[in-house]
Amino acid sequence: MPMRSDHSHPMKLVILGRDGTLNHYRDDHVKSVEELQPLPGALEAVARLNHAGWHTVMATNQPGIGRGLLDMASLNAIHLRLNQLLAEKGGRLDAAFFCPHTPEEGCDCRKPLPGLLLQIGERFGVGLSQVHMVGASLRDLQTAKAAGCIPHLVRSDRLGMLDEEQLADMVALVPGTRVHASLSAFAETLIHEERRSKADARGEDLPPNTGPGELN
């Protein structure tokens, strides 16, 4: 059973997209374990978040199932392998939520609709306004906004090809979006900001963060 939050100690939760966030995006979908290629540093970033007390859950569109490109057994094997690779780094995903439908099916769980994120909030008993959603596409940002999450964008995969103007145009569509060079940079930033917040509450000084986690 998932851990549930309470008002005095709310669960610290990060929702992650999959393709382009944790692993390399493929136009033809990741259809097998062999096609799963984690992005450099992404698994270590999840482990760092976990070690800092953050729970991580994955939310991903998988229309390849609806199109017959892969079956549930293949998807389960891919996610099992992903968790095995995470375990080798000392990390884990608490759960993987996915939409198996094609756009034509008109479901309410396909991102950018908020269905998957609402399911996550319900299952883990958390309010989504303090949940961080990290993705690698405009669709992910729109999903975060629709669900009331805090939107974050990582540029470590295909978004790295966008110039600054193109990136700014995308971010402007979802006000409040925070941009990070990679999932590692996001993790560094989130962990540092939490430490700074706790230090401020105690009236203590915290050395400035000079690591890779600064926002672009």
The conformation of residue 55, written as its DSSP 8-state character, comes to: E
If we measure between CA atoms, which residue out of 61, 54, 71 comes closest to residue 105?
61
* Beta sheet of 150-154, edge-to-edge order: 95-99, 55-61, 13-16, 132-135, 150-154, 178-180
In a domain, 2, yes or no: no
Domain count, the chain: 1
Query: What does pLDDT average to over the chain?
Result: 90
Distance, in Å, from the CA atom of 54 to the CA atom of 12, rounded to the nearest integer, reads 5
For the domain that residue 139 is a member of, what is the CATH number?
3.40.50.1000
In a domain, 164, yes or no: yes
In a domain, 209, yes or no: no
Residue 8 above 60 pLDDT?
no
In a domain, 211, yes or no: no
Full-model pTM? 0.89
3-class state of residue 102 by DSSP: coil
pLDDT digits (tens, 9 = 90+) for 42-85: 999 999 999 999 999 999 999 999 999 999 999 999 999 999 99
